[in-house]
Structure 1
Amino acid sequence: MIEVREVTKHYGDKEVLKKVSFEIKENEIFALLGPNGAGKTTILECMEGLRKYDNGEIKLMGLDPDEVVKKGVVGIQLQSSSLPNHICAKDAMNLFCLWNGVAPRYDLLDTFELEEIDRKPYKAMSTGQKRKLHLALALAHDPKILFLDEPTAGLDVEARVSLHKEIRKLKQKGVTIILASHDMAEVEALCDRVAILVEGRIRKIASPSDIVLDVRRETIIKLRLDKELAKIPFSHVQLQEKTNGYVHFTTDNLLQGLMELLQYIKTNHYQLLDLSIDKPSLEERYIEIAKEKNAK
């Protein structure tokens, strides 16, 4: 669906994109991650047709970004978006649909729970309401490709859950989604694959689960029992510490380690009061990659 081939971009003497290459499949939710200044916004804007690049090639559905935007198959929700203070949701929808040559999509106002405030001026809307409106407008012309830059920034928990639900529905409808976010939990929950951009170069592209496999620490199993655990050697877990009534074990094989502990607890008639598993996270691996300054 999208091909980025050795794209470079300079701002004056500073090279912000250094032969960036990746592909995005049809109907995929693909995330771009990177620290501030990594070039994330620049490559997004090049893909969206909002910024020119120096060298390389970008194709969306086989076309240049400018051509795709003109054909109306791309929807964009920018991180910093704004509308006139006094425009209301219904009038904004009318305006965007007129521009795109389609019938007004009032159903999207209903989908994003904006129908009750369709006459509320933009300046009086909450952050969540504004973000929902921007997404509704980005979808008004039924795009095949959707760019979302920090879509849930500033939203409360309920609004985030609602927006995640709608993003999943869009994937089910066949929309290809490119997501930029600093929220690692959001990326893990939504995305099929992730590209990590550091200092203008792609350092890693894989599924969130595959990236997490490279985290340089073991899984931690935390148990709380009704009595002190006898000190015996285990084969697949290692006792680390006892903190606030919990016993901490590490393991490099979660299934075998957990089975070994649970079998021991059952055989020796312990009562299991609580159990939690602290697995390596995407955020941990992202931080490791971002700090690898000398990586090629």
Structure 2
Amino acid sequence: MLEVSGISKKYGDFLALKDLSFTVERGEVLGIIGENGAGKSTTLKILAGLIDPDSGEVRYFGKRIDNDVKRRLSYLPEIDALYDNMFVSEYLRFFADIYGVENPDRKIQELMEKLSLQDRLIGNLSKGMRRKVSIARTLIHNPDVLIYDEPTGGLDPSTSLMVANLMRELAESGKIIVFSAHNMFYVEKIADKVIIMKGGRALYYGGLRELMGRSAYIIEFTIDGRRKSLEVSEVDELVKTVEKIRQEGGTILEIDREVPRLENVYFALMSGNFKNVRKVY
């Protein structure tokens, strides 16, 4: 388990992070969203042990961050920092040696096949392929925790979807994943929990489904010459309501399904209109 308790961070007079707390269990994905400067990257760097919080603490599996814990983590920065004069396999072997990976050639081949990577000079790779190399590097030592800063940022749709599906697959294998993103489609697709940040503070932390609410079914019908509509939330309730309308002589005109979207919830919360979020979509 990852336990974060009241972490704060200032850079000079700038408050980057204020009293942030959350937990992530094995097999869970936590997505962090917010405006630029909201504190997302600072949070991830603290989780990765790259910087220390001014107050509060981070614990992995009951332990504070030390060298042993760091060997169980992997951090993916927003901007890829690769060695352009290396071939892909050479680059991955370099990190495999650092971590003391057993059977490195087999692990490298496995990752290159999984991510559809060719053994080319890194300096000649496209942005999407470079991102895949960075992701392969984070997986070379089979870490328990993955901390990804904008893993799909700037990628084409097919590569972004591949990365998102991989993250979900890794979580289902038991890994803890924390990532930041601007593209809320991918947060909605793979996250179990979400933090919405603004000005270094969490406006919301909790389950994604609890935040978004359930789908709603809108029944449009006429009865006694008047047009009416009803909203229900469950399929069984929908079937019973439609049957009742027909028994009372009504005519069903249309049934629409409204699905809440994270983007709408996010903007409603950021605008302070969260109480009306079910009406936004």
Q: Structure 2-normalised TM-score?
A: 0.83
Alignment map for 1:1-296 (pairs within 5 Å): 1-70=1-70, 72-103=71-102, 104=104, 105-106=107-108, 107-114=110-117, 117-118=118-119, 120-213=120-213, 219=216, 221=218, 232-234=226-228, 237=230, 251=231, 253=233, 255=235, 256=237, 260=241, 276-292=256-272
Contact residue 35 and residue 290 of structure 1 kept, 8 A? no
Q: What's the CA shift for 1:259?
A: 6.1
Rounded to whole Å, the distance in 1 between the matches of 2:76 and 2:174 is: 18
| Deviation by residue 1:247-267 (Cα, 9 ceiling, x = unmatched) | xxxx36464457645886898
Asked if the contact 2:219–2:256 (Cα under 8 Å) also holds between the matched residues in 1, the reply is yes
2-structure distance, mates of 1:222, 1:127: 47
- Single out whichever of 57-66 and 200-209 deviates more from structure 2: 57-66
Q: CA contact under 8 A between 1:48 and 1:69: conserved in structure 2?
A: no
Whichever residue aligns with residue 72 of structure 2, its letter is V
After superposition, give the CA deviation of every residue in 1:110-149 in whole Å (9 maximum; x if it has no partner). Answer: 11111xx21x222221222111111111000010011111
Q: What SS is found at the alignment partner of 1:197?
A: strand
User: How far is the alpha carbon of 1:172 from its aligned partner?
Assistant: 2.3
> Quick one: distance in 2 between partners of 1:191 and 1:281?
13
Would the alpha carbon gap of residues 69 and 81 (structure 1) be closer, same or farther in structure 2, given more than 3 Å must change? farther
Give the deviation of 1:90 after TM superposition.
Answer: 0.6
State the Cα distance separating 1:32 from its structure 2 match.
1.4
Q: Secondary structure at the match of 2:226?
A: coil
Distance 2:112 2:218 in 1: 45
CA distance in 2, matches of 1:124, 1:269: 64
Letter in 2 for 1:281: R
Evaluate the alpha carbon distance shift between residue 270 and residue 126 of structure 1 in structure 2; reply closer, same or farther with a 3 A threshold: same
Comparing 148-157 with 174-183, greater Cα deviation is found at 148-157
Give the whole-Å Cα distance in 2 for the aligned partners of 1:221 and 1:68: 54
Question: Could you say if the C-alpha distance between residues 180 and 258 of structure 1 is closer, same or farther in structure 2, counting changes exceeding 3 Å?
Answer: farther
Aligned residues: 266
- What is the one-letter code of the residue matched to 1:8? S
Deviations, residues 36-79 of structure 1 (Å, cap 9, x unaligned): 11111111101111112111111122222343454x10011111
Alpha-carbon distance change, 63 to 163 in structure 1, aligned in 2, over 3 angstroms: same
Matched letter for residue 102 of structure 1: V
Q: Distance in 2 between matches of 1:271 and 1:204?
A: 39
